[in-house]
Chains A and B, each alone.
Chain A
Amino acid sequence: MFNSMLKTFDFNSWNTRGLMVTGAIMLALLFLGPTIFDLFTLLKVILFIAMAMLALSLAFIWGFGGILCFGQSAFFGLGGYVYAIGVINMGESTVPILLAIFIPAAFAMLLGYFMFYGRLNDVYLAVVTLAVTLILYAFIRSTSGEEWVIGKARLMGFNGISSIPDPNWPGFPDSLLWPDDKFYVAMALLILVYFGLRFLLRTHFGRVIVAIKENETRAELLGYDVRFYKMITFTIGGGIAGLAGFLLVTFNNFVNPDKFALALAAQIIMWVLIGGVGTLIGPMLGSLALLMLYNWLGTQNFAGWLNTYLVFGGIILLFVLAVPQGLQPTAQMLALRFLPWTRPTDEGGDSARNGAREGRAGD
């Protein structure tokens, strides 16, 4: 019964159904989004999608790669700035978008090379990544002077870069994306990245990184170069976070150093923790829940006596103590227990490599 709970990764027959349901909901949202949301809400949803993408990047490297990166915001902010500087200079968005993925990915690879080949342990890794994002934060904040110009783009320090041009359709520099289009693109990218990661986790590479998380020594004794696998995992995470940074810029054509700040760095950790380490959907929903809560607290009038971060701190404590596995695993466990129809039957042939396997209720 609790079999699937003990699994630290979640591709199994039960989850194949979950995957189909998730896909259906995401596709429905993709096609119906502009119909059901008004313009203001739609733009807000783009923000949520960008943050969900960011959550996904850490959910992957932490939950499946076992790499606790405390500075995922570094790649996020970098993605935003790279896109902004690129599109301002080039007047066209196709290449800047690609750069917003590849430059943070390359940066992650370089950082990962030193951390993993230098055999940095988990705690130091968290500290180093946090330090990196805080250094970037301090650096970008100090670029308000007129000498800080890259091509046509002024960095503007703590004020941030505003009026960043909208992205255009690839190959058509003059046809810019309307808010509806931005939503379609953002949602489609989220779906693509989510299913891309699910696919990756089924490949040899994906199964090795989960194995490394399970038992690094054994993976090495089997002949897998753990350092290399971790570096690549970290690089993929950096690229996805960079893409999220680009999506954020499309939300309000603005980027500032706060994208590198401690507040955001810590929030990403919370999204994953609350959603469930070792899941992908959970952290996306975690980011949505906490952002909505954050917005709601902001609109209430007790801001004077009830600090938002105090509330967040309370939530984190509550989750760590009461729901340590996070939302998604707990929901799965409750579903298996109380909703008999969610229990998979022994149908077999679920995947090529084996039939109905783990996650069988009553095992």
Chain B
Amino acid sequence: MPEMALGRGARVTDAARPILETRGLTMRFGGVVAVDNVDFSMAEGELRCLIGPNGAGKTTFFRCLTHQYKPTSGHVIYRGDDITGSHTHQIARRGIGIKTQVPSVFDGLDVRENIWLSARRYHSNRESNRVVDEILERIGLTGVANRLVGQLAHGERQGVELAIVLTGDPELILLDEPTAGMTHEEVHRTTEMIREINRTASLIVVEHDMQFIKAIANRVTVFNQGAILVEDTMDNVLKNQDVRDVYLGKREVA
């Protein structure tokens, strides 16, 4: 743990500017303000957790970052460039990958085809097959490579989506509840995997599992009613009375 923190810290100081920033990001649906004037910033190589009660706007925030929603106002800045007006596929090509809350995969295609489609975007045909084999092995999906994704268990589908995202070698990865529906062992494996991914990429992780967050993150952003409530270390966030009131008070804090 200490050397991990060191490693991360080292790269944070290397980075002259943040990898991702939002300025006054706002998303309104009719009268509802789902994301409210959010100024968010994270450094290169950071692993940030987003927490907050259901409906706090975390998923909407992710969708604004990837332009699945067009923000009502405000800006998204990636590596110094304003990408607010870019299309979803252009943002993906810049190196932002997203794993959605409900696995977004190609259910009617088999696991290999799913990953191939991601690999082929960046590699030649021959190279793609090699990359696919590699990632299947890494995520532990070799055994189900020829199965239809729609027939797999929820945890395996999560794995397929993670494999798809990692195949694109993104520099910033958004993970929306990566451990939802996973067994204890799967959560443990995912924890290890996220640490490993963080060696080469920056991550934003939306989570509810406090154990999991304590294990992976040193900085946590708390969302409430579409706005950032607190941003601090996990320990301080757990002590914060506002956070306890809106969120943690309802749950057992381990």
Stretch at the interface among B107-115, B203-211, B229-237, B244-252: B107-115
- Taking a contact as CB atoms under 8 Å apart, the answer to whether B148 and A215 are in contact is no
Secondary structure class of chain B's binding surface, majority of residues: mixed
B147 nearest CB neighbor, chain A only: A363
Q: Is B45 an interface residue (CB 8 A)?
A: no
With both chains docked as a complex, state the minimum distance between the C-beta of B238 and any C-beta of chain A, in angstroms. Answer: 33
Q: When each residue 344-355 of chain A gets 1 if its CB lies under 8 Å from chain B and 0 otherwise, what string results?
A: 000000000110
Known: A7-B108, A211-B109, A221-B104. A357 touches B117 (CB 8 A): no
B120 in complex: contacting residue of A3, A204, A220, A225, CB < 8 Å? A204
Q: Is A154 an interface residue (CB 8 A)?
A: no
Q: Is A180 an interface residue (CB 8 A)?
A: no
- Taking a contact as CB atoms under 8 Å apart, the answer to whether B168 and A223 are in contact is yes
6 contacts between A and B (CB under 8 A): A8-B109, A221-B98, A222-B118, A223-B168, A226-B89, A353-B112
Q: Is A152 an interface residue (CB 8 A)?
A: no
- Given A7-B108, A357-B112; 16 other pairs, CB 8 A cutoff: A8-B108, A9-B109, A207-B116, A207-B120, A211-B109, A215-B107, A217-B68, A217-B88, A218-B105, A221-B88, A221-B104, A222-B92, A222-B117, A353-B116, A358-B146, A363-B147
The distance in angstroms between the C-alpha atoms of A226 and B92, with both chains bound, is 13
- Taking a contact as CB atoms under 8 Å apart, the answer to whether A210 and B118 are in contact is no
Known: A214-B107, A218-B106. A6 touches B112 (CB 8 A): no
- B interface, CB within 8 angstroms of A: 66, 68, 87-90, 92-93, 97-98, 104-110, 112-113, 116-118, 120-121, 125, 129, 145-148, 150-151, 164, 168
B128 nearest CB neighbor, chain A only: A353
The distance in angstroms between the C-alpha atoms of A266 and B120, with both chains bound, is 38
The distance in angstroms between the C-alpha atoms of A45 and B133, with both chains bound, is 48
- Taking a contact as CB atoms under 8 Å apart, the answer to whether B106 and A357 are in contact is no
- Taking a contact as CB atoms under 8 Å apart, the answer to whether B168 and A214 are in contact is no
- Taking a contact as CB atoms under 8 Å apart, the answer to whether B110 and A358 are in contact is yes
- Taking a contact as CB atoms under 8 Å apart, the answer to whether B108 and A357 are in contact is no
9 smallest beta-carbon distances between A and B, as pairs: A223-B92, A8-B108, A214-B106, A220-B88, A223-B93, A218-B104, A357-B146, A225-B89, A220-B89
Instruction: Tell me the chain A residues, 205-247 only, with Cβ under 8 Å from chain B.
Output: 207-208, 210-211, 214-215, 217-226
Inter-chain contacts of B145 with A (CB < 8 A): 354
Known: A6-B150, A207-B113. A223 touches B107 (CB 8 A): no
With both chains docked as a complex, state the minimum distance between the C-beta of B105 and any C-beta of chain A, in angstroms. Answer: 6
Known: A204-B125, A211-B106, A211-B109. A222 touches B164 (CB 8 A): yes
With both chains docked as a complex, state the minimum distance between the C-beta of A209 and any C-beta of chain B, in angstroms. Answer: 11
B129 nearest CB neighbor, chain A only: A353
- Taking a contact as CB atoms under 8 Å apart, the answer to whether B106 and A220 are in contact is no
* Contact count band on A: 20 to 34
With both chains docked as a complex, state the minimum distance between the C-beta of B65 and any C-beta of chain A, in angstroms. Answer: 11
A357 nearest CB neighbor, chain B only: B146
Inter-chain contacts of A224 with B (CB < 8 A): 89, 121
Inter-chain contacts of A215 with B (CB < 8 A): 104-107
Inter-chain contacts of B109 with A (CB < 8 A): 7-9, 210-211, 214
Inter-chain contacts of A210 with B (CB < 8 A): 109
With both chains docked as a complex, state the minimum distance between the C-beta of B33 and any C-beta of chain A, in angstroms. Answer: 24
The distance in angstroms between the C-alpha atoms of A225 and B116, with both chains bound, is 17
Among B120, B129, B146, residue most surrounded by chain A Cβ atoms (within 10 Å):
B146
The distance in angstroms between the C-alpha atoms of A222 and B66, with both chains bound, is 11
The distance in angstroms between the C-alpha atoms of A220 and B150, with both chains bound, is 19
A360 nearest CB neighbor, chain B only: B146
B92 in complex: contacting residue of A211, A220, A357, CB < 8 Å? A220
Inter-chain contacts of A358 with B (CB < 8 A): 110, 146, 148
B104 nearest CB neighbor, chain A only: A218
A354 in complex: contacting residue of B107, B118, B120, B146, CB < 8 Å? B146
With both chains docked as a complex, state the minimum distance between the C-beta of B230 and any C-beta of chain A, in angstroms. Answer: 30
Known: A207-B113, A225-B89. A214 touches B108 (CB 8 A): yes
- Taking a contact as CB atoms under 8 Å apart, the answer to whether A222 and B121 are in contact is yes
Inter-chain contacts of B89 with A (CB < 8 A): 220-226
A213 nearest CB neighbor, chain B only: B108
With both chains docked as a complex, state the minimum distance between the C-beta of B4 and any C-beta of chain A, in angstroms. Answer: 29
- Taking a contact as CB atoms under 8 Å apart, the answer to whether A222 and B168 are in contact is yes
The distance in angstroms between the C-alpha atoms of A67 and B93, with both chains bound, is 25
Inter-chain contacts of B121 with A (CB < 8 A): 222-224
A208 nearest CB neighbor, chain B only: B117
Inter-chain contacts of A360 with B (CB < 8 A): 146
The distance in angstroms between the C-alpha atoms of A264 and B143, with both chains bound, is 48
With both chains docked as a complex, state the minimum distance between the C-beta of B113 and any C-beta of chain A, in angstroms. Answer: 7
- Taking a contact as CB atoms under 8 Å apart, the answer to whether B87 and A225 are in contact is yes
With both chains docked as a complex, state the minimum distance between the C-beta of A4 and any C-beta of chain B, in angstroms. Answer: 10
The distance in angstroms between the C-alpha atoms of A280 and B105, with both chains bound, is 25
Known: A220-B88, A357-B110. A6 touches B148 (CB 8 A): yes
Inter-chain contacts of A3 with B (CB < 8 A): 148, 151
The distance in angstroms between the C-alpha atoms of A129 and B26, with both chains bound, is 36
